[in-house]
Amino acid sequence: MTQTSDNVTWLTQEAYDRLKAELEYLSGPGRIEIAKKIEAARLEGDLRENGGYHAAKEEQGKQEARIRQLQQLLENAKVGEPPADSGIVQPGMVVTVRFPDDDTLTFLLASREFSGNEDVEIYSPQSPLGSAIHGKKVGESATYELPNGRKMTVEIVEAKPYTG
């Protein structure tokens, strides 16, 4: 799964089905389970000092946030093929970059929702490196800021569509 624009997210059919199943669980049985936990904790007494109640409410908040995230993601999802083999870096591509010391790094430029048994690291298109190389062609260089504030320049060595 990768983002192809600001609003559209490209998903494999497997990723779409997995995320849709997660959403259906969380918004159905998951909501019922958390409501039962909250009610059970509420019956224990004083809510101000009830750790179980507060933990269940926090869990409910996280679950509702995940439901909203999944709804938005699936609403804007496009199930289909990865990007074209154009040599231009974009989400859905396995990219190799070369650092000034000649070390190289190969990774999949994809959303953090992408998961599976890949043997390649995943970098977000919104990460400093991901956003710096997005739209660049093989052979071009890109500069991004490191967490310590220093600048790093990399050369795009290869950009191929992810094929799984």
Beta strands in 4-43 (DSSP E): 9-11
- Round to whole Å and give the CA distance between 144 and 82: 26
Identify whether the C-beta of residue 161 lies closer than 8 Å to the C-beta of residue 92.
yes
Residue spans of the domains in the chain: they are 2-79, 93-161
Instruction: Judge whether residue 31 has pLDDT over 70.
Output: yes
Helix H, strand E, coil C: the string for 82-123 is CCCCCCECCCCEEEEEECCCCCEEEEEECCCCCCCCCCCEEE
Q: Which CATH class is domain 2-79?
A: mainly alpha
What percent of the chain shows pLDDT beyond 70?
84
Is 63's pLDDT higher than 90?
Answer: yes
Reported as a pLDDT band with limits 50, 70 and 90, residue 2 is: very low
- Protein fold of 93-161: Chitinase A; domain 3 (3.10.50)
Average of per-residue pLDDT across 80-109 = 85
